[in-house]
Amino acid sequence: SRYVMTASAQMGPISKSETRADAVKRLVEMMREAKGRGCELVVFTELALTTFFPRWVIEDEAELDSYYETEMPSAATLPLFEEASKLGIGFYLGYAELVIENGVKRRYNTSILVDQTGTIIGKYRKVHLPGHSEPQEGRAFQHLEKAYFEPGDLGFPVCRGFGGVMGMAICNDRRWPETYRVMGLQGVDMVMLGYNTPFGHTGKHETDALTNFHNHLSMQAGAYQNATWVVGTAKCGDEEGSVMGGQSVIVAPSGEIVAQSYTMEDEVITAKCDLDAGNIYRETVFNFEIHRRPEHYGLIVER
């Protein structure tokens, strides 16, 4: 079997006043704890360096730009890369990416996968952007990812690392079956993702009681239906009055939750992930080769 000792490093709130250096210090602390517990991979969360700024109307471009990284590693994140290669542990990191392409500023909600030598072996840009492109009336908190990011242009790539096929997603992506299936069709063994999931996201609160259920339902279904591990790491707790759900999990290819956080703070959970645990499903129930009938699936890719 191919075992990967994996950690999910859940983050509590990052306040608006907290610096990147403060956030990176917290990430380094959790990286050390993960290493101390025998892990070779730690999955951090979405937008792990700053507060969840898409909840705010930000009109000043310089202020908006202040939430993005223009290079990776950036000065603020270099200590994380250095600690990783010193400890010999790889990591998934979510952050806001600002690049100039053909003289045009492009903004993405991005994640990278870094191996145990500190080398970036995978990059992903969030495809499914929830919320709105314009501020909505009557909301205490906005959800303006469609204003502050473009949809990802890298598709759902997988890469080889940690002894298997690794894939990435970000937050809202986990609610869409296509996310997992595109990677499942590439033989993914583990999908890593971070999420910032505010209660009241829809502007209403009647579905808040189901937010944690829908969080796990989405990842457990994605794991089982594609015979893959899913590691979901929350940024959670109260950021300036907006409360986000926690309950980070490590989900086995069976769909079973094998580790779950129980606080709304920085918390490391771990599991010994057998990357061959999905084989029983790939060889039987989800043997894509013999069971799938793509000739009937055309509607899925139509607009």
**CB of 215 vs ligand ING, minimal distance in Å:** 7
**CB of 14 vs ligand ING, minimal distance in Å:** 14
In this complex, which beta carbon is closest to ligand ING, that of residue 40 or of residue 145? 145
In this complex, which beta carbon is closest to ligand ING, that of residue 107 or of residue 282? 107
Query: Interface with ligand ING includes 130 (CB under 6 A)?
Result: yes
Q: Which stretch binds ligand ING (CB under 6 A): 100-108, 151-159, 197-205, 259-267?
A: 197-205
Active site residue 46: yes
Q: What is the DSSP-derived secondary structure letter of residue 291?
A: H
DSSP labels, 227-278: T-EEEEEEE-EEETTEEE----EEE-TTS-EEEE--SSSSEEEEEEEETTTT
Query: Interface with ligand ING includes 195 (CB under 6 A)?
Result: yes
Cβ atoms 195, 171 nearer than 8 A: yes
Torsion of CA 9, 281, 155, 113, to 10 degrees: 30
Active site residue 236: no
Sheet holding 90-101, edge to edge: 120-125, 104-114, 90-101, 41-43, 3-10, 267-274
What's the CA gap between 237 and 223, in Å, rounded?
26
Query: Interface with ligand ING includes 45 (CB under 6 A)?
Result: no
Extract long-range pairs of 60-69: CB within 8 Å, 24+ residues apart.
Answer: 64/148, 65/98, 67/96, 68/95, 68/96, 68/97, 68/98, 68/107, 69/95, 69/96, 69/97, 69/98
| 268: Cβ contacts below 8 Å, ≥ 6 apart | 7, 8, 9, 10, 30, 33, 34, 37, 42
**CB of 170 vs ligand ING, minimal distance in Å:** 7
Query: Interface with ligand ING includes 125 (CB under 6 A)?
Result: no
In this complex, which beta carbon is closest to ligand ING, that of residue 143 or of residue 282? 143
In this complex, which beta carbon is closest to ligand ING, that of residue 197 or of residue 261? 197
In this complex, which beta carbon is closest to ligand ING, that of residue 5 or of residue 170? 170
Among 45, 77, 179, 211, binds ligand ING (CB under 6 A): 211
Query: Interface with ligand ING includes 196 (CB under 6 A)?
Result: yes
Q: In the stretch 169-188, what mask flags binding to ligand ING with x, by CB under 6 A?
A: --xx--x-------------
**CB of 230 vs ligand ING, minimal distance in Å:** 14
Active site residue 171: yes
Active-site residue, selected from the candidate residues 83, 126, 145, 273: 126
Q: Which residue type is seen at 89? A: I
Residue with the two structure tokens 């990802």: 152
Chain residues 152-171 in contact with ligand ING, contact rule CB under 6 A: 171
Based on DSSP, count helices (H) and strands (E) in the chain, helices before strands: 8, 14
Total binding residues toward ligand ING, as defined by CB under 6 A: 10
- Active-site positions? 46, 126, 171
Point out which residues bind ligand ING (CB under 6 A).
130, 171-172, 175, 195-198, 201, 211
